[in-house]
């Protein structure tokens, strides 16, 4: 899967979730559009590549998606496992970026 495609689709997903942080939006982006594949692709790229400005921007995209899902989960507790999975996905990315910032 191409990284630029994943990045563009996740930017759209993050904007969509920021505008409409409700359960149907989460169902649409994770169910119909299968954005978890793009999240996985982008996350692996961040963790396997040297640090760059894109890494920080990409982490921001993932953070925005997490924030949108968290807001939607306030209305539907059955979304909490997804929130936890997204947060667990972000943890190694944060560590990777922090380690890189300390080395620089």
pLDDT string in tens for the chain (104-residue length): 699 999 999 999 999 999 999 999 999 999 999 999 999 999 999 999 887 778 889 999 999 999 999 999 997 999 999 999 999 999 999 999 988 766 55
| pLDDT of the residue at 7 | 95
In the chain, where the domains are located: 3-103
Query: What distance in Å separates the CA atoms of residue 7 and residue 23, rounded to the nearest whole number?
Result: 23
Asked if residue 3 lies in contact with residue 47, where contact means CB atoms within 8 angstroms, the answer is no
| pLDDT of the residue at 103 | 59
Task: Return the number of other C-beta atoms located less than 10 Å from residue 79's C-beta.
Answer: 19
Q: Which of 35, 30, 28, 31 is nearest to 8 (CA)?
A: 35
Q: What's the pTM?
A: 0.91
Q: Give φ, ψ of 11 to 5 degrees.
A: -65, -45
| pLDDT of the residue at 29 | 96
């Amino acid at each position: 899967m191409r990284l630029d495609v994943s990045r563009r689709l996740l930017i759209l997903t993050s904007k969509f979730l920021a505008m409409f942080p409700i359960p149907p939006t989460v169902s649409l982006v994770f169910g119909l559009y299968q954005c978890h594949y793009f999240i996985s692709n982008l996350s692996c790229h961040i963790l396997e590549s040297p640090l760059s400005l894109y890494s920080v921007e990409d982490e921001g995209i993932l953070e925005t998606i997490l924030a949108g899902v968290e807001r939607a989960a306030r209305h539907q507790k059955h979304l909490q496992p997804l929130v936890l999975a997204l947060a667990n996905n972000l943890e190694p990315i944060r560590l990777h970026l922090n380690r890189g910032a300390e080395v620089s």
